[in-house]
Structure 1
Amino acid sequence: MTFLDVVAWVEVSDGRMLAVRSRGRDLLYLPGGKREAGEDDWSALSREVREELALELDRASFRDLGVIWAAAHDQPGFSRVRMACFTAAHRGAMTPAGEVDEYRYVGRDDRHLLAPASQAALDLAGERGLLSS
């Protein structure tokens, strides 16, 4: 089985999780993406968030939330996604940048707007007590 290995930032505000829509995509994803050669999780995630949302993550608050596996969506050549999820505080003004056209905070009622891996991350955030009921 071929899988896509990515890192994702789980940002929750007022009990809702941040999601982004990349150019040309029909569903929402979490900020993050693939590691470049030699990058560790922190380096990859902080670079991706900077590129996608023009934010700086705070290294001291970087925490592992868990790893999820889900069906790949709109990823030719990959059947599954392994997504390592992390939380971290941030600074800066959130602005869609790079390939990201929009961002929004989603709750449990917005599940249908999310790609499968992002749905699993929403469940993980809920299990960790980060979301509103």
Structure 2
Amino acid sequence: MTIDKIAWLELAGGRILSTRSKGKTVYYLPGGKREPGESDLDTLTREVREELAVQIDPATAVHEGTFTAQAHGHTAGVLVQMTCYSAHYEGTPRASSEIAEVRWLTYADRDKVSPVDQLIFDHLHETNRLN
């Protein structure tokens, strides 16, 4: 089984915007699961608006890669496929909905994120986008 998720990559100053949901101990990139009939960009704009109270500009979205790993908190063999986009936005990111905390992370925080996010951190670090 593979869980289909969309994530927003917002990088600034060598750091990446990450979120921690209420009751969770690890950080995740903003985003989430697609609802029936949604496109990638529909999912991206809805999830980011719900989690961070900002508005993504879908016209500026750039596909940054798709990554697959063991799904955090699921039984062995359950995978998550994370399709990542960067995009411009309006507003100031703040914790909303199920989000307890918003933090800017660096590569040194790699051990604090989910397995698929670790792959994304590795990619961004190797391409000199995450310090």
Fold match by TM threshold 0.5: yes
Q: Distance in 1 between matches of 2:9 and 2:53?
A: 16
SS at structure 1 position matched to 2:38:
coil
SS at structure 1 position matched to 2:29:
coil
SS at structure 1 position matched to 2:117:
helix
SS at structure 2 position matched to 1:26:
coil
- RMSD of equivalent CA atoms: 1.5
Does the Cα contact within 8 Å between 1:8 and 1:31 map onto a contact in 2?
A: yes
Task: Provide the residue aligned with 1:60 in structure 2.
Answer: 59
SS at structure 1 position matched to 2:85:
strand
Structure 2: runs of 5 or more not aligned? none
Task: Provide the residue aligned with 1:120 in structure 2.
Answer: 119
TM-score by length of 1: 0.92
Task: Provide the residue aligned with 1:82 in structure 2.
Answer: 81
Structure 1: runs of 5 or more not aligned? none
Trace 1:1-133 onto structure 2 (pairs within 5 A). Answer: 2-75=1-74, 79-132=78-131
Matched residue pairs, number?
131
* Residues 77-86 or 33-42, more deviating: 77-86
SS at structure 2 position matched to 1:95:
coil
TM-score by length of 2: 0.93
Letter matched to residue 86 of structure 1: Y
Residue 25 (structure 1) shift: 1.1
Q: Distance in 2 between matches of 1:6 and 1:75?
A: 15
Q: Distance in 2 between matches of 1:19 and 1:75?
A: 21
Letter matched to residue 51 of structure 2: E
Letter matched to residue 37 of structure 1: P
Residue 55 (structure 1) shift: 0.5
Residue 129 (structure 1) shift: 3.4
1:38 to 1:73, Cα distance in 2 relative to 1, 3 A: same
